[in-house]
Amino acid sequence: MAIVLPVVPQTIKLEMHWTYGTDANVMSHLFYSTAAATPGTNDLLAFATLFATSYNTNMVSQTHSSVALRKVRGIWLGDRTSAVPEWNGTYTGNRAGTPLPAQTAVLFNLRIARRYRGGKPRLYFPGGVAADMTDPQHWLSTFLTSCGNAMNAINTALQAFTSSTINNPQLSSVSYYTGKSLRTSPVVDSVSAITMNSIPGSQRRRLRP
């Protein structure tokens, strides 16, 4: 049975969908806090669209042509009944080289002030090619810099977003669980920095087409 997560006041979830080779179900997400009581549907769509256009400007050069961003959903977590607008399109990677195994991911670490056991919010993106690896376990420093700069440019654009119902949203982390127990009220922490991990992440389910 599906777990029903509690609402998260004043928080937007951007849910990104890619195709990666034959896998049409590659997903990741970002959370943004905002002072808005309830964002308008058009504003949520504009926010999702901004991610897509910023991704196209900054990140397609970091991804192989087998990777394409296809959909971005803007989800208001403060109300389960809110409409969920989505951007649909195709932004395909243009980085030359040999594609990496499908389970390989770029791993971004998200820094928050709160300390807790296992407290390392993270973000996984498809990215890189074989030539971006200095050895089987590490990214080249040049790719670390270029891909990290691309992610920070996307976040800078999103945090500068202003509309009638969303103003200067802040990248955040949402904790739904304490230990193995679901929280009644999720804990939201502001993210102070995004850094790319020198070690690639792994998403094994991507091996299944």
Q: Look at residue 12 in the predicted model and tell me its pLDDT.
A: 97
- The model's confidence at residue 98, banded by pLDDT at 50, 70 and 90, is very high
Q: At 52, is the secondary structure helix, strand, or coil?
A: helix
Closest by Cα among 5, 23, 42 to 161: 42
The residues spanned by each domain of the chain are: 11-207
Tokens standing for residue 11 = 């928080």
Q: Identify the residue with better confidence: 24 or 8.
A: 8
Kindly list the distances between the CA atom of residue 161 and the CA atoms of 43, 85, 108, 148, 180, in Å, as whole numbers in the listed order.
Answer: 10, 17, 22, 20, 35
pTM of the complete model beyond 0.75: yes
Asked if residue 197 lies in contact with residue 107, where contact means CB atoms within 8 angstroms, the answer is yes
